[in-house]
Amino acid sequence: MPRRRAFLSAAVVGVTGFSGCTGLLGTGDSSEPDGNVVELTGTNEFNPDEMTVQTGTTVTWEWTSPNHNIVVDSQPDDADWDGHEQIESSGHTYEHTFTVAGQYDYYCKPHQSTGMTGTIHVEEGEEEQEE
């Protein structure tokens, strides 16, 4: 009986110790953030990398790892989004309110070669469509 109890204790300690370490590596959770939030991740991705919002919507970008920025690649002709070209670290946030309908493509300059790109599709809000 003592041998079985020792084995179970070791198993519990091992699992508990392992689960504590996984936080250092990330949770592996690939779910999208809540609301109109885009995360700039340690796997060099925008999460989500594509989003559809209505005009007047504010989107927030959250840096969850260092050395990222937001460079506007293309946007509608009458839009004035500048992105956020300064490279920032974990914990930084940036917001932009999209007022012009159309497609906005952007990328992270340090990680563009690894495919760190994103797209915001902005559709006319209900109020604008009724006019």
Q: List the pLDDT tens digit at each of the 131 positions of the chain.
A: 555 454 444 444 443 333 333 333 333 345 557 789 999 999 999 999 999 999 999 999 999 999 999 999 999 999 999 999 999 999 999 999 999 999 999 999 999 999 999 999 999 987 655 55
Distances (CA, A) of 30 to 39, 41, 67, 86: 11, 11, 20, 26
Q: How much is the pLDDT for 88?
A: 98
Residue 31: DSSP 8-state: P
CA proximity to 83, closest of 65, 102, 109, 101: 109
Q: How much is the pLDDT for 3?
A: 54
All domains of the chain, ordered by start, with CATH? 34-130 (2.60.40.420)
Q: How much is the pLDDT for 126?
A: 73
